[in-house]
Structure 1
Amino acid sequence: MKKISPDGNVSFTWSLGPYENFLERRLSVLKRVRFAERLWSGDPTLWKRDIQHETIIRRALGWLHLAQAMEKNLSTLLDFASEIRRGGYRHVVHLGMGGSSLAPRVLREVVPKTKPGLPVEILDTTDPHAIGEVERRLPLPRTLFITASKSGTTVENLALEQYFYTKLTKLKGPRAGENFVAITDSESPLEKRAQERSFRRTFRNVPNVGGRYSALSYVGLLPAALMGIDLTGLLRRARQMEERCGPTVQPEENPALILGAALGELCRQGRDKATFLMPPELAPFGLWLEQLLAESTGKEGKGILPIVDEPLGTPSTYSRDRFYVAISLRGKSSPFHTFLRHMEERAEPVLKIVMEDPFDLGQEFLRWELATATAGAILRINPFDQPNVQESKERTERLLHKFQTTGRLSQPKPLLERKTVRFFGSKKLLRDGDPLHSFFEGIRPGSYIAMLAYLPETSTIVDRLQKLRRRLRDTFRVATTLGFGPRYLHSTGQYHKGGPNKGFFIQLAAEDEEDLSIPDRPYTFGLLWQAQAWGDLGALQKHRRRALRIDLGPNPSKGFEALAQRVRKL
């Protein structure tokens, strides 16, 4: 087990087994090409050498100096949080997708609140049940809505903002804008809407920062300030990591470059599934890491697939296409200690990060951003674009446009229909009469199963999906992921279509129990949710991915039981 001297308060150790030499050689290469120096100076040729990519990259490196930039804005954030509390607001709802919502979710769940603050809800879905539940539970006139979107055109944000703005207009008339705050880029459509609607405030984000690299920008820090989190402590830890990984630090002493070199080299050697092991108190951090790695590296047929929150199994059920990253808190017992010891005895690649306390997330945000950028250079891809994300959006838009002219949502006929479930997919899956059995015929070592759920994210449904996930992992001995739509479209969706063609995609849906109209739109939230599911299924099929949709019917409980019985027969 090798160890770098503590990164401030954080311990970082690794045991790569037969891959140690690959790491050492890569660190020598990074030193020879002056990688750290060129990274901090914003040299786009570290990743690509064509004008189109270089332009994208130059406009995407503002995150490198976020901690320093945001320290100058601390008083603005703290004064605003005090203003909101004094104004009688009692709740905050953060509207955002992908990188505009995951950092606030992590901070809310992981970091302790040391100052007076307000409860913050994260609404990153088009599920009408979840939206309606927030509306029923919170007093809207005393609720502040943050709408966060870099482009200002995110379809989910547009619908959610319109829905709650219309509700508040009925309650407060022309003063409805007092309940809204925007986080966006300068001169975006959202900034213009905020002006037209007299939003309470618009926070123009630091330029040249992509969504998944924006944790330490207004996107993460404004909700954190409203929650009562100590921003000074969070940014101080980030600055410590910045110093440890600066332009003059040699790669072999640079905790971010060591991590990035390990990620990139393990992926190049066929270990492309990063299996994260975290205790419950840190588990939300996995969602942020999932988007960062998957959306940054999953392109050009390459990429690192993050495996997050997978139920723990016995070592024998894990295939040799994985490596393991354990992140824990110092002094806390780890449920993964015995498992990791067995993996190290088998010479499996293991990396361990031990944080002193949750405020070390400030360090970890920056470390993982730097490491991901480094891994991208090793894989020779651009980690700052997402070329395949737009495809699902465009297909969704076409379905909605067709609905406006025909009055119905276009969808294919089911392959097989039973009392409780319906199967949709390629007709080839009917060759032996059982679509599920045929679907898994081509699975092999190195494959992965992605469960894509367009279902209410209730504890009961999550538990059932995790049990199904465990069963599939143990049956086929392959890595598994679980994502809820449409959130995963802004996270692992890029990897699904742009990464290696190794996935087996199971889309799960059910009939909506309730629905909500979207003001000034000819469709409902439920219809938008369905269109997003069908649009992504079509995009997967266009890329020749193995995809199967299973509708669980009007009673998901019975549908799950019927599906579980079929899975047990595999």
Structure 2
Amino acid sequence: MSALDVTATGAAAEAVARHVPTLVADRVASRLFARDHTLWGRAAEEESAKRLSWTGLHRTSRHLVGEVAALRDELAATGYDRVVLCGMGGSSLAPEVICATAGVPIVVLDSSDPDVVRAALTDLDRTVVVVSSKSGSTVETDSQRRAFEQAFRDAGLDPAARMVVVTDPGSPLDAAARAGGFRVVNADPDVGGRYSALTAFGLVPSGLAGADIEALLDDAEAVADVLAEDDDANPALRLGAAMAGTEPLRDKLVLVDAGTENVGFGAWAEQLIAESTGKDGTGILPVVAVGAEPARLYDDGTVVRLVASDHDADADADHATPATASSLVTVAGPLGAQLLLWEAATAVAGRLLGISPFDQPDVESAKAAARELLEAGIGAGEEPAFTDGAVAVTALGGDWLGDATTVDAAVDALLGQLDRERGYVAVMAYLDRESDADLEHVARDLFDRTGRPATFGWGPRFLHSTGQYHKGGPATGVYVQVTTAPAQDLPVPGRDFTFGEFIAAQAGGDAAVLADHGRPVLRLHLTSHDAGLEQVRAALGRGRP
């Protein structure tokens, strides 16, 4: 089934009725798919002019079907049955969703944590590694690449025979990889990272892992003409209006898995929406719901229910609570179609918000701050205010900690800074997202405790997605950063820093930039991982104070 279904009720439906006729009259859909770079205003034209090729990827990426099949045949001689992807942000999230939906395994390495990196450097005799970096200069991915090259050599294996590089043509990585005899697949340079799901960044690792990438393109192509049509029924116009056209603006978008076959889709949509819209003091904050659909909702939120393609549209209203029905969108469709839908809808939302959906001005600031800390050799930066049990506590972004001397009191002090009408809580965990996965549930606990949206991001990968919204969006967030020391550090081959030093600098740089923007940040550093994690989990998960 290739049909898309977007329905809206309440404030979302009012937004559709208010804005879609104007979007149709302005021919926004047809101009978008004709790559009209003037849709977002003069200030956005230079960036937009080189970022719109994603609208035609269902056709222009067709050559990759045969190319990836040939790669699989070549690599079959290695006996591989394990694919590891080294990538960040859009380069990793799309393949993760594609492979999970297809039911094929892939190891996504999107961390600088030395323990996480070390765990991926296993089973090398049956492993193929895909290194994905648009610019080739992403330090996380470069460090991971260096680690795998060294590990293969140490195991007596030729790295060039077991690694595939995906990058833009002419990038430093492109030249170096070709010179080193590595297989290289070039991606479309006129597509930004978060819109790259149907480029080589999404398709090469997914295809090597066993996903049917031709079917993915087929599903996107089946809806492309509908999404390009200037018509009131256009699903992208309807979704974009529901996202960004409510009055007053409901700028929290709660993504609920309500039976969709597209596994983990919320995490991919989160990075697309947050990084595209969170800038210039505005934006849409995507909130990936953990657990059951919320029975109540804040007044500045819209719920998006992601349902199965064969869902019963007439039954949608039966699943809505009175609170969520006040602004509710239901979206259905196969993965390839939804990837293109949400990209187009996000571009439409950018027009309604008056921002460029293709730049990310605040992502670089955190990278620069991390580089400064690495060069200074001061790790995570600020000294802790106090230590309670197995947790060292640091407060940044203002004099708000008061006389707190316990983790519980520090959390209470941070939540005391929360705007109860428009604010949100963000938990940013620089931990192992597999072994520490249970910590994600604190987001739901914080929602129940405060009545306000709570998001959860794994560091450092969120720096390439929601990190942009945290710094460039509305100044309404309060932030909890959880860090830890590695069980064992790991050198980065050919560099003068270790993975442990790098991730500490990333966390420190992120917190410093947030603090510079006047955002309150509570850093909870685990001095003993297991005991500290239990202590943090309990402090964040407490009931209403």
State whether TM-score is above 0.5: yes
* Alignment partner of 1:301 is 2:281: yes
The within-5 A match list for 1:47-196 is 47-50=40-43, 53-112=44-103, 119-136=105-122, 138=123, 140-172=124-156, 175-196=158-179
- Larger deviation: 385-394 or 471-480? 471-480
> Residues 380 and 509 of structure 2 are in contact (CA less than 8 Å); yes or no, is this contact kept in structure 1?
no
Tell me the amino acid that sits aligned with residue 444 of structure 2.
R
Alignment partner of 1:13 out of 7, 19, 24: 7
| Cα separation, 2, equivalents of 1:9 and 1:486 | 36
Pairs within 5 Å for 1:276-287: 276-278=255-257, 279=259, 282-287=262-267
Indicate conservation of the 8 Å contact 1:415/1:430, yes or no.
no
**Alpha-carbon distance in structure 2 between the residues aligned to 1:397 and 1:565:** 32
Equivalent residues in 2 for 1:90-489 (5 A)? 90-112=81-103, 119-136=105-122, 138=123, 140-172=124-156, 175-199=158-182, 201-246=183-228, 249-266=229-246, 269-278=248-257, 279=259, 282-312=262-292, 315-316=295-296, 318-330=297-309, 340-343=319-322, 347-355=325-333, 360-403=334-377, 408-409=378-379, 411-426=381-396, 428-433=399-404, 434-443=409-418, 444-459=420-435, 461-466=436-441, 468-489=442-463
Quick check: 2:260–2:308 contact (8 Å CA) kept in 1?
no
What amino acid maps onto 1:418 in structure 2? D
TM-score by length of 1: 0.89
Q: 1:229 to 1:501 in 2, by over 3 A?
A: same
| Aligned mates of 2:26, 2:5 — CA distance in 1 | 27
Whether the 8 Å CA contact 1:153–1:189 is kept in 2: the answer is: yes
In 2: Cα distance, 1:94 partner to 1:464 partner:
24
Does structure 2 conserve the Cα–Cα contact (< 8 Å) formed by 1:225 and 1:231?
yes
Amino acid at match of 1:388: D
Distance in 2, Cα, partners of 1:513 & 1:337 = 48
Q: Does 425-434 or 375-384 show the bigger shift?
A: 425-434
Q: Distance in 2 between matches of 1:20 and 1:9?
A: 20
Aligned-residue offset at 1:18: 4.3
Residue by residue over 1:131-158, the C-alpha shift from the partner in whole angstroms, topping out at 9 and shown as x without a partner, is: 111223x1x2432111111100000011
Q: Does the C-alpha gap of structure 1 residues 196 and 72 become closer, same or farther in structure 2, counting only changes over 3 Å?
A: closer
Judge conservation of contact 2:411–2:539 (CA < 8 Å) in 1.
no
Aligned-pair distance for 1:338? 8.7
Distance 1:26 1:331, change over 3 A: closer
**Contact in 2 for aligned 1:141/1:179 (Cα 8 Å):** no
CA shift for structure 1 position 363: 0.2
Choose the corresponding residue for 2:23, options 30, 41, 62: 30
Counterpart amino acid of 1:328?
V
- Describe the shift of the 1:289–1:430 C-alpha distance in structure 2 as closer, same or farther (beyond 3 A): closer
Post-superposition shift, 1:523? 1.6
How far off is 1:348 after superposition? 1.3
Instruction: Tell me how far apart the structure 2 counterparts of residues 475 and 274 of structure 1 sit (CA, whole Å).
Output: 19
Q: CA deviation at 1:40?
A: 2.0
Using the alignment, how far apart are the partners of 1:282 and 1:167 within structure 2? 34
Shift in alpha-carbon separation, 1:410–1:557, aligned structure 2, 3 A: closer
The SS at the match of 1:206 is coil
Shift of 1:313: 6.2
- Which whole-Å CA distance do the structure 2 matches of 1:385 and 1:59 have between them? 11
Query: Which string of whole-angstrom CA distances, capped at 9 and with x for unpartnered residues, describes residues 328-385 of structure 1?
Result: 2245799x979842137x6411111233xxxx10000000000000000111100000
Q: What is the distance in 1 between the residues matched to 2:414 and 2:255?
A: 27
**SS in structure 1 at match of 2:290:** coil
Q: 1:354 to 1:454 in 2, by over 3 A?
A: same
The answer as to whether partners of 2:276 and 2:359 remain within 8 angstroms in 1 is yes
Q: What is the CA-CA distance between 1:483 and the residue it aligns to? A: 0.4
CA offset digits 1:110-132 (Å, max 9, x no partner): 1246xxxxx42111111111111
Q: TM-score, normalised by structure 2?
A: 0.93
Aligned to 2:476: 502
Q: Determine what percentage of the aligned residue pairs are the same residue.
A: 34
Paired with 2:249 and 2:351, the residues of 1 have a C-alpha distance of 17
Q: Show CA shifts across 1:225-260 (max 9, x none).
A: 2122222221111001102112xx233021111111
Q: Aligned to 1:46, what secondary structure does the other structure show?
A: coil
User: Structure 1: 5+ residue runs without aligned partners?
Assistant: 1-6, 114-118
